[in-house]
């Protein structure tokens, strides 16, 4: 698509969205599908694009184009997941930078020899110690002896035999 000035793109987006909504309200779902798709192509930000694509998918459902609606919903979900992951990464980076700036400003940042910086905050907990070692196996020459089984109980004493 040819780059347009922001105001022109915004006006075109608003026009396409308004026409798509009108078509949907009039029951012209095929036309609404096309207009929502065009509006999504013009949208500047991902959130607006995803919103318009979901509305497009709803119109596809209204005209029983279920597989197309499902495919579009999967695309929107994947894009939203990627954007959420990117937002999380940006937040973690911003947090790390802010923490390092605070430590620098407080005079407690301790750079290491690689100049990558080392936080003066407590390190993460040390990993747990390894489990205790098993007792050594008996030498090969010594036969392994198992404890003797308990002796069977003595038979009952016979009664006196009849005479």
pLDDT (average), residues 25-37: 96
pLDDT (average), residues 94-114: 86
Residue 67: what pLDDT? 95
Place of tokens 């990993």: 127
Q: How far is the C-alpha of 50 from the C-alpha of 69, rounded, in Å?
A: 13
pLDDT digits (tens, 9 = 90+) for 71-85: 999 999 999 999 999
Q: How far is the C-alpha of 86 from the C-alpha of 67, rounded, in Å?
A: 29
Q: Which residues contact 69 (CB under 8 A, 6 or more apart)?
A: 57, 58, 60, 61
pLDDT digits (tens, 9 = 90+) for 50-68: 999 999 999 999 999 999 9
Q: Model's pTM, two decimal places?
A: 0.58
Q: How far is the C-alpha of 29 from the C-alpha of 13, rounded, in Å?
A: 18
Q: Which residues contact 130 (CB under 8 A, 6 or more apart)?
A: none
Q: Is residue 111 predicted with pLDDT exceeding 90?
A: no
């Amino acid at each position: 698509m040819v780059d347009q000035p922001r105001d022109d793109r915004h006006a075109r987006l608003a026009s396409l969205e308004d026409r798509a909504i009108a078509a949907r309200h009039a029951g012209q779902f095929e036309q609404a599908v096309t207009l929502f798709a065009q509006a999504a192509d013009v949208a500047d930000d991902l959130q607006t694009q995803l919103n318009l694509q979901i509305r497009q998918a709803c119109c596809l459902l209204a005209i029983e184009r279920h597989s197309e609606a499902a495919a579009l919903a999967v695309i929107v979900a994947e894009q939203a997941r990627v954007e959420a992951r990117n937002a999380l990464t940006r937040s973690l980076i911003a947090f790390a930078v802010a923490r390092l700036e605070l430590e620098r400003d407080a005079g407690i940042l301790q750079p290491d020899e690689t100049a990558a910086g080392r936080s003066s905050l407590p390190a993460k907990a040390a990993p747990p110690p390894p489990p205790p070692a098993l007792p050594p196996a008996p030498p090969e020459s010594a036969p392994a002896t198992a404890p003797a089984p308990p002796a069977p109980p003595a038979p009952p004493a016979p009664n006196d035999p009849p005479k």
